[in-house]
Amino acid sequence: MYRPPSYFPIGVNMYVPAMQGSAEFSSLQPVPFSLGKPAAASASAVTGASPIAGNSAVGTSTGIIWTADSPYGRTLVVTPSGDPGAAGAILDVFGTDYLGQQMVERFTGTSGSTAALYGRKAFGRVTRAVVNGQASNAITWAIGTGTKLGLPYKTDLVSAKEGGAWVQTYKRPTPVLVDRSAALAVAGGSVFVSAPCAGYVSQVRGWAASGGGGTNPVITIKLGGVAITGLSCTIPESTPGVAGVGTPTTAGYNANNRVTAGQAIEVVGAAAAGAAADTVEVTITPTQYTTADVTDPATNVTGDPRGTYEGLGTYNAVNEIIAYLNPDASVNATGNGGLMGIRQALS
């Protein structure tokens, strides 16, 4: 395993455009890279006890000194103290990646929502935050650490170890199924399934067995007792084996539908007189491994140009995470990309 690099002087950009090779990848085998021993995620690890006033004037800048506890950076989480009251309440966070490239990520609040905003880019350092859209309510923004860790290069994940033990790797949407009896379908109620990995609930499907023909059951999904907004499906009793399908109102990874490994997912069925037994499938889109975002040029809302890894186990500053990676030195039609990915967005 290669020792993580540590000499990155502030102000020096070590990004190599269209990089095609590195000494680490001298063999044809997957290469182990240590992603460090990250501490538990904290909603205020970056701003500490001094959150940022979200109703400050546009352009208000706050200096921050923070360095990631993972060698290739870590994603951020921005949490409002209350309802921003304006759809355009925006906080731009500036810093550098582990290579010293300057970078920025935009976090936009939603009127009526107090949910955390989850970043996609792995920051090596954070240097300042700028109000770029004023909240109409007197709120503050707290900046903390997320659970996604940066990767050294644009690669493909092959396998991983956490705390010295091999873990299963999830890179593609993963269905979790549960069968419901006819009695439960008729009476209504909940059954539970377990999330196999970190990720988000992206779809629910359900189909009836033969022998029904009564009321079509309506299925919703809850996390921690809270329904995922807009996610439901209606199981067609008259056509056994044909699935009803539903997706959340907001697609992708957000506060309302994200799960951690082992988290209980509640499958809730409304009472449906005359219903047959059925099967419900909940699809988890993993975030254990997120591929590099190859959007060119990168923007302040695109993903990380080298991809990220989100552990299945507990972050406790003790368990080391090791990712076994294969290189991807591909470039796009204009010659951009390579092992270090697309250049970071600057504004």
Q: Write out the DSSP string of 231-295.
A: EEEE--TTSTTPPEEE--SS-SS-TTTEE-TT-EEEEEE---TT---EEEEEEEEE-SEEPPP--
* Residue 30 preceded by cis peptide, ω within 30: no
DSSP state of 74: E
Q: Which of 232, 227, 167 is nearest to 196 (CA)?
A: 167
Q: Both tokens of residue 69?
A: 């506890």
What is the spatial distance between Cα 21 and Cα 40, in angstroms, rounded to a whole number? 34
Q: 21: Cβ–Cβ under 8 A, 6 or more apart, which residues? A: 329, 339
What is the spatial distance between Cα 57 and Cα 135, in angstroms, rounded to a whole number? 9
Provide the 3-class DSSP secondary structure of residue 276. Answer: coil
**Cα-based torsion angle of the residue sequence 107, 110, 115, 121 in order, rounded to the nearest 10 degrees:** -20
Residue pLDDT tens, the chain, 347 long = 667 777 888 889 999 999 999 988 988 899 999 999 999 999 999 999 999 999 999 999 999 999 999 999 999 999 999 999 977 899 999 999 999 999 999 999 989 889 899 999 999 999 999 999 999 999 999 999 999 999 999 999 999 999 999 999 999 999 999 999 999 999 999 999 999 999 999 999 999 998 777 899 999 999 999 999 999 999 999 999 899 999 999 888 888 999 998 999 999 999 999 999 999 999 999 999 999 999 999 999 999 999 999 999 999 999 999 999 999 999 999 999 999 999 999 99
Backbone angles phi, psi at 102, to 5 degrees: -65, 145
List domains and CATH numbers for the chain: 23-167+289-327 (no CATH), 174-286 (2.60.120)
Q: Are 149 and 311 in contact (CB under 8 A)?
A: yes
